[in-house]
């Protein structure tokens, strides 16, 4: 992961940690890193970090759905 991408994924982790305060920051960071690794080899790299954020939100929303009254992040 390049320095710029590492900085950006860290920013995504901080942003998502604020949106998902009931999830441990380290868990959010792992989800973001997993999403990055999953999407890193894709052909469309211009939107990679946006796709990483969306994928991480989807995973965190799925985890949150286990809690019945938890609101979803937008």
How far apart CA 33 and CA 51 sit, in angstroms, is 12
Domain map of the chain by residue range?
3-64
How far apart CA 44 and CA 16 sit, in angstroms, is 23
CA contacts within 13 A on the Cβ side of 45: 7
Q: What pLDDT is recorded for position 2?
A: 62
Q: What pLDDT is recorded for position 49?
A: 86
Q: What pLDDT is recorded for position 20?
A: 95
> At 45, is the secondary structure helix, strand, or coil?
coil
User: For 41-53, what is each residue's pLDDT tens digit?
Assistant: 888 778 888 999 9
Stretches where the chain sits below pLDDT 50 are none
- Output the pTM of the full model: 0.77
**Count of all residues that appear for the chain in the document:** 74
């Amino acid at each position: 992961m390049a320095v710029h991408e590492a900085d950006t994924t860290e920013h995504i982790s901080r942003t998502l940690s604020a949106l998902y305060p009931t999830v441990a920051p380290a868990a959010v960071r792992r989800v973001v890193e997993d999403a990055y690794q999953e999407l890193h080899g894709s052909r469309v790299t211009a939107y990679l970090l946006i796709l990483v954020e969306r994928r991480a939100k989807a995973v965190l929303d799925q985890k949150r759905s286990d809690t019945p009254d938890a609101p979803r992040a937008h």
